Amino acid sequence: MEIHVVQPGETLYAIAGRYGADPGLLGAANGVPADGALAVGQTLVIQTVRTFHTVHPGDTLTGVARRYGLSLRELYRNNFWLGGGPAIQAGQTLVIEYAGEKLGSTYTNGYAYPFISRPLLSATLPYMSWLTPFTYGIDAQGSLLPLDDGALLAEARRLGTAPLMHLSTLTENDTFSSQRAAEVLTDASRRAALAGQIQETIREKGYQGLDVDFEYIPGALREAYAAFIRQLRGLLAPMGLPVIVALAPKTYAAQPGLLYEAHDYALLGAAADFVLLMTYGWQISAHTCIFRL
């Protein structure tokens, strides 16, 4: 892979010829408009295509993927300009394989509301390890609040992304409740009932793991929270599914505050399979996966 910085007077076709690249693929891979317009100083990623396929009448993406021994997910990854959609046209060029060695592998996860833009969802899913629909909350009786996640799960299955169930303390009023977290964590019967509902939901909907995100809970409940995570892990481990717990970004163990005190890194790290360290910035949030060894 090379990076080319556009100079005055350069055209897409000239740049493609310089690197021995297909101009159509080069433009598509870099989001160049159909008229080929470039801006001086614009950067173009140059990737060498090892194998490509020219679409013939009657071709489908599924058929092309099968012909070359690829998954549909891999074909979408090699041709991100398809946006995860099924439409292709005769004469169109598809990348089957790029030259060069892969640097390694990573895991990516993203949260999505049920009302997310479908084109955005479809375009992004091929690059994600997990999709986490947001969120299953807890009602006043300690039971799961429903989530309209059917469309998200169907698209995740189509594009080969594993769905994670997300459990939080969100209420029917779209607010996070410290009280409901405390009621569940201090009542064995409520914990057992909620855990059973979670297990049944995972089985019914095909979730591939659980992400637990209890925020703003009193520090006195740190041990109870870790015990609940262990309880959930005990239920899901026989199913071969992980339990992930989201942690607030503490800078030292005794950091005060409702967001931090019940997030005991040592206890929760031992109780869960993995943790997500949540980091926040102005108007954005990002989550980094930390794997427990």
Distance CA 39, CA 9 (A): 10
Contact 245, 271 (CB under 8 A): yes
Q: How far apart are the first and last CA of the chain?
A: 33
Instruction: Tell me if residue 139 falls in helix, strand or coil.
Output: coil
Tens of pLDDT, residues 186-217: 999 999 999 999 999 999 999 999 999 998 99
Residues 6 or more apart in contact with residue 198 via CB below 8 angstroms: 136, 144, 165, 167, 210, 232, 235
Instruction: Tell me if residue 101 falls in helix, strand or coil.
Output: coil
- The pTM of the full predicted model, rounded to 2 decimals, is 0.83
Average pLDDT over residues 80-103: 87
Q: Is 181 exposed, middle or buried (0-12, 13-18, 19+ CB in 10 A)?
A: buried
Peptide bond preceding 43: is omega within 30 degrees of 0, i.e. cis? no
Distance CA 158, CA 84 (A): 10
Q: Please give the single-letter amino acid code of residue 113.
A: Y
Distance CA 188, CA 191 (A): 5
Tens of pLDDT, residues 136-187: 999 999 999 999 999 999 999 999 999 999 999 999 999 999 999 999 999 9
Contact 72, 86 (CB under 8 A): no
Q: Which residues are catalytic?
A: 215
